[in-house]
Structure 1
Amino acid sequence: MQLARAIHFDESDQRVFASPARTGEWCVSGGFEFSNWGESDLSGKPKQAFSNGWMGLETAGRVTFVAVTQIEQSELDTLTDLLSKHFVDFYGAPDINAARPVATEELAQMLDLCAEHDANTLLTVSRELTSSGVKEAFRTIEPQAAGLEQFAIHGDMDA
């Protein structure tokens, strides 16, 4: 099984998101956060989270890039409980057992998205408001094979 972890190439997420995800935490799309949003909600840092932020499952923070990687069933079980608790704490689910099927479905969608990609593939998300709700689109950046010339220092040993 594969899921995605937050990855940072620079410090920009620290500036653009009100609550940035932590590097290495497991992520889902998190589009559910925006299900009741309208145009008036789309400004500043919340707009950035809406436009292209993945949701970290430990912090509920946002990140621009995630990388596909292996996940074990025990980790997935823990994430299901964590997301279920998030639905209780922030979205009014009556209890964790009632929230678990929704959390399971959210994680299943992310597992399906990641299953079709090689490890280390980078993913981005973009969202837009439409007349029928939030529309999400995903983009992939394939892992590149590193050649020795990228790391070797060429020079004259006699100089």
Structure 2
Amino acid sequence: MALKLPRTIRLDPSDTFVYLRAAEPGEWAVTGTFLFFGTDPDTLAGKERQAFRAGFLGIGSFGWSTLAVVTEASAEERVTAVEHLAEQLVAHCGAPDLETARPAAEEEIAFAQSLCSHPPNTLLALHRAGERTGIRESFRTLHQKVSRLDMATAFRIIEVDEEDGPVEEFDIRALGGKHQ
């Protein structure tokens, strides 16, 4: 069985607005719940609250991503992810040294890996809630619906040069398909 880990993904620019720091697309990701231990979720507001409620933590930026994608990884990439997370735990979380941080990083990566029992390219979403007994996490997977109009899209993102002005495209077949 192939080794799989979650990576951050950005399907639209919303993460850059809803989080104080958005993860870069393609970073290895962990849930990041450890950053909220000892915090009363009821005291969180705004962007911190959004990170608590729905964010995966990108290891490279220590920024947040609403979604992660199941991705195949090599053993070397896993080792590098553990090491990089250990470095971040020293830099941002008060771990005294790498030797102390590595077991915690290994545990976080192992948990993230356990979320990836799905086929590659499966999207993962997370929801956290504060409860009397601690923080509860729930996860869901998001799959593309297959339909007879798979190739048709109602909206398409295209690059536009500013001097050309806005361009709009839509697929009339997709719109008409709902009424047949």
1:24 partnered with 2:23: no
Per-residue CA deviations over 1:93-136 (Å, capped at 9, x if unaligned) read 1210111111001100111110x201111100000111111111
Q: For structure 2, list consecutive stretches of 5 or more residues without a partner in the other structure.
A: 154-170, 174-180
Q: What letter corresponds to residue 125 of structure 1 in structure 2?
A: L
Per-residue CA deviations over 1:61-115 (Å, capped at 9, x if unaligned) read 001011101011111111111111111122221210111111001100111110x
Percent sequence identity is 36
Q: What letter corresponds to residue 129 of structure 1 in structure 2?
A: G
CA distance in 2, matches of 1:146, 1:25: 31
1:70 partnered with 2:72: yes
Q: What letter corresponds to residue 128 of structure 1 in structure 2?
A: A
TM-score, length of structure 2 as denominator length: 0.79
TM-score, length of structure 1 as denominator length: 0.89
CA distance in 1, matches of 2:126, 2:172: 39
CA distance in 2, matches of 1:104, 1:83: 8
Alignment match, 2:123: 122
Query: Relative to 1, partners in 2 of residues 1:121 and 1:146: Cα closer, same or farther, differing over 3 Å?
Result: farther
Q: For structure 1, list consecutive stretches of 5 or more residues without a partner in the other structure.
A: none
CA distance in 2, matches of 1:143, 1:119: 13
Q: Pick 1 or 2: higher relative contact order, CA cutoff 8 A, min separation 6.
A: 1
Q: How does 1:50-89 map to 2 (within 5 A)?
A: 50-89=52-91
Q: What is the CA RMSD across the aligned residues, in angstroms?
A: 2.1
CA contact under 8 A between 2:41 and 2:49: conserved in structure 1?
no
Alignment match, 2:115: 113
The structure that has the greater radius of gyration is 2
Alignment match, 2:162: none
1:97 partnered with 2:99: yes
Q: What letter corresponds to residue 84 of structure 2 in structure 1?
A: L
The alignment of Structure 1 onto Structure 2 pairs a total of residues equal to 154
Could you list the structure 1 runs, at least 4 aligned residues long, displaced by more than 3 angstroms after superposition.
143-149, 151-155
State the 1:142 CA deviation: 2.4
